[in-house]
């Protein structure tokens, strides 16, 4: 039976972390059939997240705390995934905005259906999403731009709910240059470019109104990333 690591990237989440880890552990213990481990990937928090994360890891053998001294969700995922010995690597946001009932189907897409990478989608017909009008417009506009530039086959690039085989991660993650929020999109685009099979899973998703994400600034950075991937040199190529 394949082992699964669930990475939770965090930055200044001292308040949310205990409740989220408790809820996730309860769900995995009761409803998830595979051996699992939770990894808290703290990317340079300056509040009490380090203390809280270390305490949770000391209390629960199935929780590991990983500290990075530089910010960046992409950096946190890169470090945790490439250091893992699990068969399947996954991640979700600490606010658990995505309903956990979608997690078993996400992993099942890899284990039984043979996909290399699985991602949640808030834009599939079966999905249920609750979010502000501004975020809805920005998200749909961003995904439309990706389609115009790449004619890709996935519908939602930035849903914080993904899983990947360890082999695919070791092949693809070194090709992803972004260390922040564009990591998700670039990972999917690099996977498609190299012929990896990507599954989408419909999710129920509720916006976290206390999110640390600056939506407009992140969207601008994401557009810059899209232009780099579309028109820049391939990964690893010498730059002028």
User: Quick one: CA dihedral 209, 214, 218, 220, positive or negative?
Assistant: positive
Q: Which two tokens stand for residue 204?
A: 């129920």
- CA pair distance 216, 162, nearest whole angstrom: 23
Could you tell me which residues come within 8 angstroms of residue 223 by beta carbon, excluding any fewer than 6 positions away?
142, 145
What is the residue-wise DSSP string for 89-104?
EEEE-TT--B-GGGHH
- What is the longest distance spanned by two Cα atoms in the chain? 54
Does 108 participate in catalysis according to the annotation? no
- CA pair distance 16, 128, nearest whole angstrom: 23
Q: Which two tokens stand for residue 133?
A: 């009008």
What is the residue-wise DSSP string for 135-165?
HHHHHHHHHHHHHHHH--S-S-S--SEEEEE
Q: H-type helices in the chain, by residue range?
A: 16-31, 49-59, 73-83, 103-111, 133-150, 166-172, 183-193, 215-231
| Catalytic residue selected from 85, 184, 210, 222 | 184
- CA pair distance 98, 121, nearest whole angstrom: 10
Q: Which residues are part of the catalytic machinery?
A: 184
């Amino acid at each position: 039976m394949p082992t699964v690591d669930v990475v939770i990237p965090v930055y200044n989440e001292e308040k949310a972390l205990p409740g989220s880890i408790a809820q996730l552990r309860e769900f995995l213990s009761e409803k998830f059939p595979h051996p699992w481990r939770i990894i808290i990937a703290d990317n340079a928090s300056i509040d009490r997240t380090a203390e809280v994360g270390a305490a949770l890891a000391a209390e629960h053998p199935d929780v590991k705390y990983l500290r990075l001294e530089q910010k960046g969700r992409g950096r946190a995922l890169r470090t945790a995934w490439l250091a893992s010995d699990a068969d399947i690597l996954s991640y979700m946001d600490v606010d658990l905005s995505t309903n956990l009932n979608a997690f078993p189907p996400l992993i099942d897409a890899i284990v039984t259906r043979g996909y290399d990478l699985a991602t949640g989608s808030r834009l599939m017909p079966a999905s249920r999403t609750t979010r502000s009008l501004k975020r809805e417009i920005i998200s749909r506009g961003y995904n439309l731009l990706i389609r115009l530039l790449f004619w890709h086959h996935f519908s939602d690039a930035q849903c914080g709910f993904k899983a990947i085989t360890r082999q695919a991660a070791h092949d693809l993650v070194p090709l992803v240059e972004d260390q922040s929020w564009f990591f998700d999109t670039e990972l999917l685009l690099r996977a498609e470019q190299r012929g990896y099979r990507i599954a989408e899973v419909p999710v129920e998703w509720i916006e976290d109104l206390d999110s640390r994400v600056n939506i407009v600034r992140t969207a601008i950075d994401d557009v810059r990333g899209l232009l780099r991937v579309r028109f820049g040199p391939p990964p690893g190529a010498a730059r002028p």
